[in-house]
Structure 1
Amino acid sequence: MKTWFITGCSSGFGHRLALAAARRGDRVVATARNVEAIVEMAEPFDGRLITLPLDVTDAAAAKAAVAKAVETFGGFDILVNNAGYGLLGAIEEGTPGEYRPMFEVNVFGLIETTRAALPVLRRSGGTIVNMSSVAGISGGSGRGYYNAAKFAVEGISEALADELEPFGIRVLIVEPGPFRTDFLGRSVTMAANEMREYAASSRKHYRETNDGKQAGDPDKAIAVILQAVDADDAPLHLPLGPIAHAVSERKLASFRSDIDAWRDIAIATDFDQP
């Protein structure tokens, strides 16, 4: 039996993963900023799933939630940093009041929750699952701020994987493509400043034209995440869905092309040997 601590359980992958873990017999600490939205989740599980309030941007709240998890279950061995939301719009269109709060949740919230959880995980070992995105693999027009936040998640996760290996703690970076959750409809905001110069590239209509039409089955995605958490040979990076894999392949090919084209010039930058 595993014990999970999951953030952002009011909707999307966090909600589905918490229920799937509890249904298979694991213990779950499900958290959300508005705990009232998730209290009913606990009812069928006879104490194996508890719900706690957690605003991930509040370091003290993260420590309190971790302490309550330890008090209830004695600890946990899987941390899932799932809380987050998206922002669409061109870079010039975004304002500090729009992009700074997104970074507070998606990046600094992940950091605060992880820092609060690490003393527990270092004692027991386990797994940190950081929910990234295909947007953390490759940047593109109209999603630059979200790209930046998820690229930060990727870098933090890779560093953590290296730092925590001696403690027997694994890191799994989940990079979903489009899946039919309520993320687009509920968890994506749009830059309010609409500039005609970016009308063709700011992805203003992406949400309304794709919400509810994504090809990805979220329950199949959850099954893969559970399989990876259970596996002895889980990867560091886990792109989910055919689009995420196609984007990954294009990124690798483009990166390789850039490296190869300028290799001889770019590496000739050391001091000349005497």
Structure 2
Amino acid sequence: MKTWLITGCSSGFGQRLALATARRGDRVVATARNVKAIEEMAEPFDDRMITLQLDVTDAGAARAAIAKAVDAFGGIDVLVNNAGYALFGAIEEGRPEEYRPMFEVNVFGLIETTRAALPALRRSGGTIVNMSSGAGIEGRGGGGYYHAAKFAVEGISEALAGELKPFGIRVLIVEPGPFRTDFLGRSITMAANEMPEYAATSRRNYRDTNDGNQAGDPDKAVAVILEAVDAEDAPLHLPLGPAAHTIAERKLAAFRSDIDAWRDITIATDFDRG
């Protein structure tokens, strides 16, 4: 039996993970900014699921939630950093009051929650699951701010994997493609400053044309995440769905092409040896 603390449980993957882990008999600390939105979810599981209010951008709240989780269940085995949302629009269209709060949730909130949980995770030798995205593998026009946030999640996660390996703590970076959650409904915003110059590249119609039509089954994705958390040989990177794999393969091919094309020139930059 594992004890999980999951952020962003009011919808999407966070909610589905909380339910799936509780249904299989694990203990769950489900958190959300609005705790009332998730209280009913916990009722069927008696004392195996507790709900806590947690705004991940509040470092003090993160520490308090971890302390309450440890008091309730004696420790934490799995931390899932799931809370987040997307801002779409061209880079020039974005305004600080739009993109800075997104980084506060997606990046700095993840950092603060992870830092608060690490003492408990060192004791358990547990697992950190960081919800990234196919958007964390490859950048595209119209999603630059969201790509940047998820690229940051990837870098933080890779560094954590090296830092925490001596403690037996594993890190799993989950990189979903498009799955049929309500992400495109409630978890995506568009830059308000719409500029005609970027009409062809700002992807402003992405939500309207894709919401509810995503190919990915989120319950199947959750089953794979659970399998990876339980596995002894889980990878660091876990692309989910054919679209995510296509993104990863395209990025690797493009990266290799760039490296090979300029290799002889770019490696000849050391000081000459006398």
TM-score by length of 2: 1.00
- CA–CA distance in structure 1, aligned partners of residues 36 and 199 of structure 2: 39
Q: Tell me, in whole angstroms, the C-alpha distance in 1 between the residues paired with 2:259 and 2:201.
A: 28
Q: Match of 2:101, as an amino acid?
A: P
Separation in 1, partners of 2:232, 2:124: 16
Matched residues in 1 for 2:180 and 2:39: separation?
A: 24
1:48 aligns with 2:48: yes
1:121 equivalent in alignment to 2:121: yes
Instruction: Output the amino acid matched with 2:79.
Output: L
Please state how far the C-alpha of 1:123 moved relative to its aligned partner: 1.1
For 1:150 and 1:212, locate their aligned partners in 2 and report how far apart those are by CA, in whole Å: 23
Task: State the partner residue of 1:184.
Answer: 184
Q: Partner of 2:66 in structure 1?
A: 66
| 1:8-48 residue CA offsets vs partner (Å, 9 max, x unmatched) | 00000000000000000000000000001000111000100
How far apart, in 2, do the equivalents of 1:164 and 1:143 lie?
Answer: 31
Q: How big is each residue's C-alpha offset from its partner over 1:172-223, in whole Å with a ceiling of 9 and x where there is no partner?
A: 0000000000000010000000000001110101001100000000000000
Structure 1 residues 88-127: Cα deviation after superposition (integer angstroms, max 9, x where no partner): 0000000000000000000000000000000100111010
Q: Is 2:27 aligned against 1:27?
A: yes
- Tell me which residue corresponds to 1:18: 18
4+ aligned runs moved over 6 Å, structure 1: none
User: Which amino acid in the other structure matches residue 226 of structure 1?
Assistant: L
Letter aligned with residue 21 of structure 2: A
The one-letter code matched in structure 2 to 1:229 is V
The CA RMSD over aligned residues, in Å, is 0.4
Gaps of 5+ in 1: none
Counterpart Cα distance in 2 of 1:196 and 1:261: 35
- Output aligned runs, 1:125-136, within 5 Å: 125-136=125-136
- Residue number in structure 2 paired with 1:167: 167
Give the length in aligned residue pairs. 274
Unaligned runs of 5+ in 2: none
Any idea what SS the aligned residue of 1:38 has?
A: helix
Q: Which amino acid aligns with 1:181?
A: T
Measured against aligned partners, the alpha-carbon deviations of 1:54-81 in whole angstroms (never above 9, x if no partner) come to 0000000000000000000001110000
In 2, the alpha carbon distance for the partners of 1:50 and 1:142 equals 39
User: In the alignment, residue 104 of structure 2 is paired with which amino acid?
Assistant: E
Residues in 1 aligned to 2:100 and 2:173: alpha-carbon distance in whole angstroms: 23
Read off the aligned partner of 1:33 and give its amino acid letter. R
When normalised by structure 1's length, the TM-score is: 1.00
Residue 269 of structure 1: how far off its partner (Å)? 0.6
Local SS of the residue matching 1:34: coil
Residue 225 of structure 1 aligns to which amino acid in structure 2? Answer: I
Partner residue in 1 for 2:81? 81
